[in-house]
Amino acid sequence: MTNVGAHNIPLQKNLLLLLVIPKLSVMNFSRITSDFALGNGKLYTPNCKAKAIRLILNSNGWVSADGKLSENVEGVFSKEFVSCLPSIVKNSLLSVEGDKDKRSFKCAISGTFKNPQCKVDERIQRRAVNNVFDVIGKGLGKLFK
């Protein structure tokens, strides 16, 4: 598929996403490709790739006719997009091997298209919590100087 837009889908409406990275509430993919296999009432997507200006997504998993899904996703943000991110967000993301200017994330998406559940990689969760405590600690340190 080419020139595919994703606007206001449930995953993009996540409050945290809108507050921290509002530019992702609208994504236009120049190209989406995937291998497909049908079986057991599911469409398997073992090698799905989606390319947008700010983000490249790679996923594998399945989608069923009743709207259920289970996908493992890895996203890589472009250098230009990373440079616009708040440092607390940038520092929570994973480094990309071979390109220090890009950042990545991994997550598992399950549930349904209408009510997707997203579980972010534990490494990112730990990094985010540590970054929040660092920011709080630095703020408190300035108060007590």
Whether residue 30 is contained in a domain is answered as: yes
- pLDDT of 143 over the 80 cut: no
Number of domains in the chain: 1
Task: State the pLDDT confidence band at 47, using cuts at 50, 70 and 90.
Answer: very high
Whether residue 144 is contained in a domain is answered as: no
Tell me which residue range forms the domain holding 19.
2-86+94-121
Closest CA to 91 of 131, 32, 132, 137: 131
Gap between the Cα atoms of 99 and 22, Å rounded: 24
Report residue 108 as tokens.
Answer: 């598992």
Report residue 7 as tokens.
Answer: 């606007």
Burial of 82 by CB count in 10 Å (0-12 exposed, 13-18 middle, 19+ buried)? buried
Whether residue 39 is contained in a domain is answered as: yes
Residue 119 identity: K
What's the confidence (pLDDT) of residue 15?
40
Instruction: Compute the C-alpha angle 107/98/55, nearest 5°.
Output: 45
